Amino acid sequence: MKLTTLNLQGFTDWQNHKPAIVAHLQQINSDIILFQEVVFIPEIAPYDQVQLLNQELHYPYEQTSVTRLQDSPHYEVFREGLGILSKYPIVASNTLVLKHAEGDEHNRILQMFDVLIGDKRVKLANVHFSLTDTIDFATAHLEETLQVIEAQNETRIIAGDFNIDHLEDLSNLWSRDYTSSTYIPYISFPAENKRNDYVLVPKAYELISIETSQAELSDHRAVTAEIDLK
């Protein structure tokens, strides 16, 4: 299975980014694509970016959870969230609001969904954790995500924008059940020469490779994982 994750950076420089995103996603031809910073801004378009991209990509299964209401100095209404495109049927889905810490300007969500690949039900989670500056919001969101999934007696492929520079430093949280893309060197956020975007793969599967887009498709590069579902 080929899985891609990309933070779209809203509609920022959309006229230039959109054709580059479409061209890259058509070239790599992933089975599942996860998007972060999916926004609905009616002053710009009556659709969010995932819906606009899929008008050209033509994935049969599409889902967005645009659930956060954001303040904006430019638009009266600004909604933001997560999205999925899939070649495989999405047979179950759920979106949870993560705990909101004092001082965090964002309300983050966890998007969980199951796809049916042949007769195998594959569970995934799409994430975008809060920025870590003076307070480490992202680690708390990672801990909560893992706790929610474990409480449901599951493991899931977890991918997205973790907003964590060195996920390997938090291996005590995930290494028992997961393999992380951290063991493969790559950069997904070139402006700061670091990677915020990761894939955590349950040990029942095998992470084969990681590839990034050659250029930024927003302020991020797309990250694509090849996963052997065994």
- Report the CATH number at residue 122: 3.60.10.10
Cα(114)–Cα(155) distance, rounded to whole angstroms?
12
Task: Quote the pLDDT of residue 106.
Answer: 85
Pairing relationship of beta strands 2-7 and 32-40 according to DSSP bridges? parallel
Q: How many domains does the chain have?
A: 1
Adjacent-strand bridge partners of 32: 3, 86
Q: For residue 2, what pLDDT band results from cuts at 50, 70 and 90?
A: very high
- Give the distance from CA 61 to its chain's centroid: 16
Asked if pLDDT for residue 74 goes beyond 90, the answer is no
Looking at every residue in the chain, the average pLDDT score rounds to 95
- With 0.75 as the threshold, say if the pTM is over it: yes
Quick one: what percent of the chain has pLDDT higher than 90?
87
Helices 49-57 + 14-28 axis angle, to 10: 50
Task: Quote the pLDDT of residue 137.
Answer: 94
- Per-residue pLDDT reduced to its tens digit, 168-203: 999 999 999 999 999 999 999 999 999 999 999 999
Cα(26)–Cα(100) distance, rounded to whole angstroms?
37
- Per-residue pLDDT reduced to its tens digit, 75-124: 777 899 999 999 999 999 999 999 998 888 888 999 999 999 999 999 99
More confident of the two residues 165 and 61: 61
Cα(33)–Cα(53) distance, rounded to whole angstroms?
11
Asked if pLDDT for residue 134 goes beyond 80, the answer is no
Stretch 138-143: mean pLDDT, rounded? 96
Cα(152)–Cα(30) distance, rounded to whole angstroms?
28
Stretch 153-166: mean pLDDT, rounded? 96
Q: What residues have CB less than 8 Å from 142, skipping those under 6 apart?
A: 129, 162, 164, 170, 173, 174
Could you list the residue range(s) of the whole structural domain that residue 109 is in? 2-228
Task: Quote the pLDDT of residue 133.
Answer: 65
Asked if pLDDT for residue 135 goes beyond 80, the answer is no
